Amino acid sequence: MTHILFIALKFILERKRQTFVSIAGVSIGVAAFIVMASLMNGFQNYFIEQAIDLNAHITIKVKPQTVEDKIVRRYYGENVVADVYGAKPEEKKDKITNYRFIISKYSKEPDFLGLAPHLVGQAIVKYSTLEKSATVIGIDPIQERKASVIDKFVENSNINSLLTDRNSIIIGKLLAKDLGIDQLNKKVIITFPNGSQGIFKVADFFNSGITTLDQTRLYINIRTYQAMTNRPGEVNEIIIKLKDVNKAERLARKIGSETGYYAESWQKAYKNFLQLFKIQNYITYMIVFAILVVSAFGIFNIIMMVVMEKRKDIAILMAMGYEKEDIIKIFTVQGLLNGVAGAVIGSVVGYGIQEWLSSINLDVEGLVRAKGFILDRSFIYYIYGVVFAFVFSLVASFYPSYKASKLNPVDIFRSG
């Protein structure tokens, strides 16, 4: 192998400009891959982590009504079958009747870390002259802690105030901002769908970083909510925290079939986002792939050019006893060395860009809110980057190398 490396290195080092161009191409591809992958996955993982923490791993709900449920009456008679459709769906109670049994049943199973009841509905929140609609979630703070990480998102850790003061609420940070509330203990008026109204004290802010949630969510003690909406003892949602979030789909199916209620895994709840992320990933990886293909073409062109220029050298090497395999290796090693050098430089550049991005202090406001860029700085992206560079440069250099090995030295000597 010494003879291969010796000649390959000499060829590379004596052609500094071409070598620089091909290494630069690979470096850009690798750095782009590392930065884009860490940015994209950083954002997506952050979103998914927050979403999983906030929205339960599995949510048991009352089954959503389908078209068939809108049939209000069905007549059967001799030669007669008739369905009568109503303008409005059949009234179905929006409640889980046996929720205590469900909670105690699954609390004992090893896959489940905690279950908590919710009563969820809509309401209008009014502060001063401003009104906003909100999703009100009635919770039992003690059980809620077992089934979610709500404490993580409550700014001043005042979740217990929902127990001590039944007329207190925890309001979404952005909802509060929209209403002009920037301090705790402000009083708001909440109007519930049944027309009842109450005055509530803002005990804390809920700040998850996910804009849509922080803009609409409002937590209240479940007993207060039941009383205000005249639904004593009613629950319409049970949230479940699992030991392993990846089992959510399977366990949701199991719960659904066992309880008859609609059990929704976090994957299903965030299906649209997950789908969007998938598309986003495809687009990003296609762009990076295109960059790597372009850099591979750079290597291909340069090695092809070197092969054409080096026909006489190839002929004399063959005359001196170098085999076809040696010729293939000499040129493939050149491509690989370019690829490896590009991968190393690209990784260093990628690391540098990651450092720079993580030092930028700016308010990111969109699907999620954060200070600065959220990066996933996993080492695996470096490994992928290096492997891609290696494979692309190997593929790009193989064909010219193969062509070089097919040269007939006699033809070259004859042509002078």
Partner 1 sequence: MKTIIKLSKINKIIGQEHILKDIDLDIYEGEFVSIIGPSGSGKSSLLYIIGLLDTPTSGSIYIDGNLIDFKNQREIARLRNTKMGFVFQFHYLINELTALENVIVPLIKARVEIGKSKVIARELLKKVGLEGKEDRKPYQLSGGQQQRVAIARALSNNPQVIIADEPTGNLDSKNTQIVMDIFKQLNTEGKTIIMVTHELELANQTNRIISMKDGRIVS
Smallest distance, Å, CB 338 to partner 1? 16
CB of 312 to partner 1, least distance (A): 6
**Measured between alpha carbons, how far is 93 from 96 in angstroms, rounded to an integer?**
8
Side chain identity at residue 278, one-letter code: K
Q: Provide, rounded to whole angstroms, the least separation between the CB of residue 339 and partner 1.
A: 20
User: Of 6 and 101, which CB lies nearer to partner 1 in the complex structure?
Assistant: 6
Q: How far is the CB of 412 from partner 1 (least distance, A)?
A: 9
Count how many Cα atoms sit within 13 Å of the Cα of residue 60 in the half-sphere of its side chain: 29
> For residues 89 and 409, which CB has a smaller minimum distance to partner 1 in the complex?
409
User: Footprint of partner 1 on this chain (CB under 8 A)?
Assistant: 2-3, 6-7, 10-11, 13-15, 312-313, 315-324, 326, 409-410, 413-414, 416
Q: Which is nearer to partner 1, 8 or 115 (CB)?
A: 8
Count of alpha carbons within 13 Å of 412, Cβ hemisphere only? 19
User: With respect to partner 1, which residue has the nearer C-beta, 203 or 306?
Assistant: 306
Residue with Cβ nearer partner 1 (312 or 377): 312
- For residues 189-201, b (16+ Cβ closer than 10 Å) or e, as one string? ebbbeeeeebebe
Task: Classify residue 216 by its DSSP letter.
Answer: T
Asked whether 397 and 336 are in contact (CB, 8 A), the reply is yes
Neighbours of 33 (CB within 10 A): 27
- Quote the least distance from Cβ 301 to partner 1, whole Å: 19
> CA 209, CA 187: separation in Å to the nearest integer?
24
Is residue 219 within 8 A of residue 92, CB to CB? The reply is no
Q: How far is the CB of 296 from partner 1 (least distance, A)?
A: 24
CB of 402 to partner 1, least distance (A): 15
Tell me which DSSP letter residue 154 carries: B
Q: In this structure, how many other beta carbons lie within 10 angstroms of the beta carbon of residue 24?
A: 17
Distance separating alpha carbons of residues 118 and 59, to the nearest angstrom: 10
Nearer to partner 1, 261 or 322 (CB): 322
Task: Choose between 2 and 361: whose C-beta lies nearer to partner 1.
Answer: 2
Q: What is d(CA 327, CA 406) in angstroms, rounded to the nearest whole number?
A: 9
From the number of C-beta atoms within 10 Å of its C-beta (0-12, 13-18, 19+), residue 358 rates as middle
Question: Of 131 and 313, which has the nearer Cβ to partner 1?
Answer: 313
Answer yes or no: are the C-beta atoms of 336 and 391 closer than 8 Å.
Answer: no
Q: Left (φ > 0), alpha (ψ -120 to 50) or beta: where does 79 sit?
A: left
- Rounded to the nearest whole angstrom, what is the least distance from the CB of residue 409 to partner 1 in the complex? 6
Choice between 34 and 404, CB closer to partner 1:
404
CB of 341 to partner 1, least distance (A): 18
Residues in CB range of 64: below 8 A, 6 or more apart: 262
